[in-house]
Structure 1
Amino acid sequence: MKKLFICCLFSLSISLASYGQEGFSVKAGVNNVSISIDNDDDFFGDSSDSELGFFVGAGYNFVASETFDIEPSILLSFVDDLTSLYIPIMAKYKVSEDFNIQAGPQINYLLEDLPDGEFGLDIAFGAGYQIDANWFVEARYGFQVSRGGDFGDFVDINTLTAGVGYRFN
């Protein structure tokens, strides 16, 4: 199932690359994953934890209009014991030539050996700044909307990412 999912994503990326675009990019940076657990227990109560890690990945920016772009990405996140694959599809509104604000859905897939709840859906928002023709920085926060299985009934996983990227024009 995992191989089929990754093959489908790769095929989608290749087919999308054939349309008008601004360019392929590579990205890397730091991320902070916060996990909140609702124990439904008066004695133990709720608990939360936050872990710092890093991510690497790639994306492709499609120009939709003068002020609007769409950028799907595939990011591999490494945080202590929680390796994940993130697939944000960000709509980017260009506030100026160099600055943009971003929002969109973000699919996440936990690559750890969990019995249930590997897939999740986030709503992410953030901002980006184009330093020059190739280099850019961006940051975003993803709020978990849903997670599959029983795992999602009591666990929330939210993610803050900040990184730098290089766009091949």
Structure 2
Amino acid sequence: MKRIILAAIAVIAFASANAQETRFGVKGGLNIATIGGADRANALVGFQVGGFAEINIWKKLFIQPELLYSAQGAKIDYPGNNFTVNLDYINVPVVAKYYITDAFTVEAGPQIGFLVSSKNIEDEKTVDLGFNLGAGYNVTKNFSVGIRYTIGLSNIYDAYYDYEEDNFGDYLDSRRTNNVLALTAAYKF
């Protein structure tokens, strides 16, 4: 994982040297996460925090690579067996960001996540892929707020549950994906 983080930093540094304008910043916010495909999964509130670079590549178009710690998961409510699945990731989204006006932006792009800890699941996958769609509002030149939805693309664990016996047993066929709605605030230097 150290190699991946170093590679992300190298990409940011290279892009910075070749871009017209680059600004760095920090961001954090509230995650409302769930696990798509998981039966009886309810939203779990978590958080995210990290840094980013906003790299101008052409007029109003920017590339924004990020490095984020993200607390995700879901509350699972099986009869007689309620529990919370906690999944902590280091996420590396890279979004294309377009300034519609000086204040309003839209963004979209892929994300790769690396599982750093989990609670209450077995057979979890250590790499997670997703796709981000979002929008933002620049309150000032340095401070902005945003909303982003991450659509999970990869199966994050193999679950099994025996409905007849009301306990865990036979493997289920559906995929389980991380889906996260994030409300964030960011400060650019």
TM-score of the aligned structures, taking structure 1 as reference length: 0.83
Which residue identity lines up with residue 24 of structure 2 in the other structure? F
Of the candidates 113, 125, 142, which is equivalent to residue 108 of structure 1?
113
Distance (Å, rounded) in 2 between the aligned partners of 1:27 and 1:86: 13
Mapped to 2, the partners of 1:69 and 1:6 lie a distance apart of 21
Structure 1 stretch displaced more, 65-74 or 15-24? 15-24
* Cα displacement (A) at 1:153: 5.9
Flag structure 1 segments of 5+ consecutive residues without an equivalent: 39-45
1:104 is displaced (CA, Å) by 0.9
- For 2:180, give the aligned amino acid: T
Task: Give yes or no for contact 1:37–1:47 (8 Å, CA) kept in 2.
Answer: no
Q: Pick from 96, 110, 125: which aligns with 1:117? A: 125
Task: Map 1:40-59 onto structure 2 (within 5 A).
Answer: 46-59=39-52
Q: Deviations over 1:90-112 (max 9, x none)?
A: 11121111101111111122212
CA root-mean-square deviation: 2.3
Establish whether residue 8 from structure 1 lines up as the match of residue 14 from structure 2: no
In 2: Cα distance, 1:23 partner to 1:72 partner: 11
2:158/2:176 contact within 8 Å kept: no
Largest Rg, 1 or 2: 2
C-alpha distance 62-139 of structure 1, shift in aligned 2 (>3 A): same
Q: Residue 71 in 1 paired to residue 70 in 2?
A: no
Aligned partner letter, 1:91: A
Partners of 1:96 and 1:59 in 2: how far apart? 21
Determine the C-alpha separation between the residues in 2 that align with 1:50 and 1:116: 19
5+ residue gaps in structure 2? 74-85, 160-172
Structure with greater strand percent:
2
Write the distance in 2 (CA, Å) between the matches of 1:14 and 1:111: 25
Q: How far apart, CA to CA, are the structure 2 residues paired with 1:3 and 1:67?
A: 33
User: In the alignment, which of 121, 133, 138 is matched to residue 141 of structure 2?
Assistant: 133
Task: State the secondary structure of the residue aligned to 1:146.
Answer: coil
> Pick from 83, 87, 90: which aligns with 1:82?
87
Greater mean deviation of Cα atoms: 149-158 or 54-63: 149-158
Percentage identity across aligned positions?
28
Matched, 1:142 2:150: yes
Contact between 1:91 and 1:104, CA under 8 Å: does it hold in 2? yes
> In structure 2, the residue corresponding to 1:111 is in which secondary structure?
strand
Distance (Å, rounded) in 2 between the aligned partners of 1:147 and 1:8:
25
Q: Contact conserved, 1:36 with 1:49, CA < 8 A, in 2? A: no
